[in-house]
Amino acid sequence: MPLKLSIPDLEQLTPERVRELDCAQKEQLLNNILDDLRELHDRLNRTPWNSSCPPSSQPVWGRVGKPKEGEEGEKGEDKEENKTSAESGEVSETSNEKSGGESGSEAKEQSEDESGFSRAEEEKDKKPGRQPGMVGHSRNQNLPMTGEVKHIPGECVVCRATQSEENFVAETGHLTVDVERVGESGGVLGLQATHVKHLYGKTTCPACGHVHRTEPGRTSKEEPWEVELTEWRLVGPMLVSLIVFLHFRMRLSYRRIQEFLDIWLGLYLSTSTLSQCVHEAGRAVEPLEEELVEDIQKAALVHIDETGWPEGKEVLWLWCFITVTTCLYMIGYRSREFLENVLGEMFLGWMMSDGYRTYRFYPQRLRCWAHLLRKARGLAQSSNSAEAKPFGKAVLTFLADLMAAIYAAREGPPGENLKERFADRLADFKVLCERYSQADHEKTRLLAREFLNDWDAIWAVLENPDLPLTNNTAEQALRHWVIARLLSQGTRTPQGTRVFGLLASVIDTCRLRNINPWPYLAEVLANRRQGKEAPPLPVSALS
């Protein structure tokens, strides 16, 4: 049904114009507005899955770019040789340890939790109003009740009279456990657990008799999320934030978090409740990702690195894109298409990466010298004195001279082009690389070819000495999550993978901006539970 009032209609209907209308006209207008409002409410609940709206275009995180046969695992002759094999070795080692150890009891615990949890879920699904009194899903809490909140409307939607508690009749409610930060001045372990009863119901306006009904807020269905975003929850926003902190920053398993909360705060939460909290937080921050992607696409310099990430039985790649103020993690295939999809067509900045072949299509690229130096050092210390030793030493000497010149140029006045100053030595070095690219010694041959293949990217820093020499920024960012992966063996489902990438991005971006992520995360969750938009990511506190 089309709307009755068009934009030009609304522009004419100023408060002055409305005042001029007679009573019958006002009534007619009001009924037209109410019809439009009903229509809009119906439309709001519509999604591409229950209507004829076209599904939105492929999201940036979609699993695009599955490598063609043979492309995956193509290391490029210059990829750090040991990276992939060493990592997969570590993962399987952990998985052996795990299957013999805790995982049995974890699984048992999980199923017990699930049965306990589903009771709360059932009650949650009941329509507000049908179930007077309390839901029983906090029967395991030892906490005393710390408060009661009656949700009454602020003012009457008809006559604007202020509503009061006297006319409120509770119809439904739930309990929330949460934490409050106390002792902000420091020196106090600042957490106070709270246990609050939330009541919803009807309030009759004392002036006009209109009946208002309150119910917990929620965000309507967003594909493909299964977890609901709603205030009808046992775990409050700050406690969810604390759980995400313990899981992602402290890298604690759900079992450990459960133990921590139980012993230190007297809060008993099942591991499936903890997992649900983390998923809900992931869904809550999803709208922020678009902004992060835009920041990366607009950046003058992006460091990129990637590492293996298991999702169930599939081996995916955790990509890190990091700038001065934004950090984005995405998990997907290791392919050019995936990379292009994240960077978009408009990316014009410098890209710092290692020598993986996928990066080579991009013209404005920097190469991490740390990898080259490490390989050259290995050759120089090798027992092969015919090829490896002389080539390794030549590379080390040349790079050391260039680094000294780069450091000096950073101190001195801008404008000196080191590529011109070193043109002769670069030409000599190229001849050397061409000679050793036919060497019998494999690692010597590979390093010589790596220089030739990535020639422009490796020397780009000579023309722009203020650009970085290494990819440490991205490698350090990934290191934290590599340890998390070893502890957790990656993620189990696409949804879990998505939650991981979203939360890791928001947490590390806040940290880069010198913002405390945890109150912010709680605020995002509280807003999204009420059906409001997520507050934008704070700008850097450093600038």
Instruction: Give the range of 154-162, 373-381, 459-467, 519-527 binding Zn ion by CB under 5 A.
Output: 154-162
Would you count residue 83 as binding Zn ion (CB under 5 A)?
Answer: no
Question: Residue 40 or residue 161: which is nearer to Zn ion going by CB?
Answer: 161
How far apart, in Å, are the Cα atoms of 133 and each of 7, 201, 212? 45, 11, 19
Question: Residue 88 or residue 164: which is nearer to Zn ion going by CB?
Answer: 164
170, 132 Cβ separation under 8 angstroms: yes
Question: Residue 161 or residue 250: which is nearer to Zn ion going by CB?
Answer: 161
CB of 205 to Zn ion, least distance (A): 3
DSSP state of 224: T
DSSP state of 151: -
**Cis preceding linkage at 48, omega within 30:** no
CB of 211 to Zn ion, least distance (A): 10
Give the CA-trace dihedral at 386, 389, 391, 395, to 10 degrees: -170
Question: Residue 156 or residue 252: which is nearer to Zn ion going by CB?
Answer: 156
Stated as kind and residue range, the H or E segment containing 403 is helix 388-411
Question: Residue 161 or residue 423: which is nearer to Zn ion going by CB?
Answer: 161
Mask for 200-239, x = binds Zn ion (CB under 5 A): -----x-xx-x-----------------------------
Contacting Zn ion (CB under 5 A), which of 40, 159, 423, 487? Answer: 159
317, 533 Cβ separation under 8 angstroms: no
Contacting Zn ion (CB under 5 A), which of 158, 427, 483, 541? Answer: 158
Beta-bridge partner residues of 176? 196
CB of 164 to Zn ion, least distance (A): 12
Residues 199 and 536: their CA atoms lie apart, in Å, by: 30
DSSP state of 491: B
Whose CA is closest to 311, among 72, 493, 529?
493
What is the residue whose two structure tokens read 């929620």? 218
Binding footprint of Zn ion, residue count (CB under 5 A):
8
515, 230 Cβ separation under 8 angstroms: no
Instruction: Give the range of 61-69, 89-97, 161-169, 281-289 binding Zn ion by CB under 5 A.
Output: 161-169
CB of 41 to Zn ion, least distance (A): 21
Instruction: Give the range of 149-157, 235-243, 246-254, 339-347 binding Zn ion by CB under 5 A.
Output: 149-157
Question: Residue 153 or residue 494: which is nearer to Zn ion going by CB?
Answer: 153
Question: Residue 204 or residue 384: which is nearer to Zn ion going by CB?
Answer: 204
H helices present in 174-288, as ranges: 237-244, 254-265, 271-285
Q: Which residues bind Zn ion (CB under 5 A)?
A: 156, 158-159, 161, 205, 207-208, 210
